[in-house]
Amino acid sequence: MDPVTRRSFLIKGSAGAVGAAGLAAGGIALSSAAAADEPALRPDEAADVPGPVLVDIKDAATGEVLILVGEREVSFTDQALVAKVLRAAR
């Protein structure tokens, strides 16, 4: 394992903070875009999620999406969702 210097710690920590801020801002824009089309997630539905959820757009042209939930992978196609995510990421 490489030794951690103050410089490497600050660089990696700053990159992580910027990434987290970008995800938070994108999440807010995405949630407001999704709110116009679908009702909000009910508390009982949110409680059923076993942990962090990662959404990966495999192919934007076809709308192929891969979702990682805990130990599972779920793959589906939703061009409208992909369009919302990419617009929110701008």
DSSP 84: H
In a domain, 1, yes or no: no
Q: How many domains does the chain have?
A: 1
pLDDT of residue 71: 84
Mean pLDDT is lowest, of 1-15, 22-36, 68-82, for: 22-36
Q: What residue has token string 């909000």?
A: 40
Count Cβ atoms below 10 Å from residue 86 Cβ, excluding itself: 11
In a domain, 19, yes or no: yes
**What is the domain extent for residue 65?**
6-88
Burial (CB count <10 Å: 0-12, 13-18, 19+), residue 56: exposed
More confident residue, 18 or 49: 49
DSSP 38: S
In a domain, 44, yes or no: yes
Question: What is the tens place of the pLDDT at every residue in 49-90?
Answer: 778 889 899 999 999 999 998 888 999 999 999 999 999 988
Q: What is the value of pTM for the model shown? A: 0.51
pLDDT-derived band of residue 20, with 50, 70 and 90 as boundaries?
very low
